[in-house]
Structure formats: structure tokens, C-alpha cells
Amino acid sequence: MSEPVIADKKPSVLELEPGTYHWCSCGRSSKQPFCDGSHKGTDFIPMTVVIKAKEKKAFCNCKKTGTPPWCDGTHKNL
């Protein structure tokens, strides 16, 4: 598997409404942290995230987290 592109060295902290979201795992999406289909032709697939209640979440943008799709602070060491 190839390496993801580092989209940003800080997370996207968003307040989300209930629903289904697709986190970009390749780092190529222009709609970070969500997938726009830019992974097509790569080894990457987006991660589906289901939010059941309105809440604030920190999505990883460096794509190196150990807890995808959530930020775990890994970006601080890049």
C-alpha cells in the first residue's frame, strides 16, 4: 500500500449533525477531511463514519493517526 498525502498538520475539528460521513484516508481530497473520490486509482478507500447525535469531533488530516479517523496527536511528530 502506498503512503497517504499529508493534507494538513492539524486536525479538522467539526461539529457534526447525525448522519453518515466518509473520511478521506488518502489525503488527496479537496474537501478535507471528507472524501471527494480522489482516491480512485489508488490503494485507498474512504472510512465510513456514522454519527448518531450532534457532537464535536477532531478528524485526522495528517492521515498517520493510530485511531482513524480521529486525531491522536501524531501530527505533532511530523
Containing structural domain, residue 34: 12-73
According to DSSP, the residues that pair with 48 across neighbouring strands are 22
Query: Would you say residue 38 lies in a domain?
Result: yes
Query: Would you say residue 39 lies in a domain?
Result: yes
19 and 8 in contact (C-beta within 8 Å)?
A: no
Tens digit of each residue's pLDDT (9 = 90 or more) over 17-38: 999 999 999 999 999 999 999 9
Radius of gyration of the chain (CA): 12
Tens digit of each residue's pLDDT (9 = 90 or more) over 43-66: 999 999 999 999 999 999 999 999
Q: Given this model, what pLDDT does residue 55 score?
A: 96
pTM check: above 0.75: yes
| CA 57 from centre of chain | 11
Query: Would you say residue 27 lies in a domain?
Result: yes
What domain count does the chain have? 1
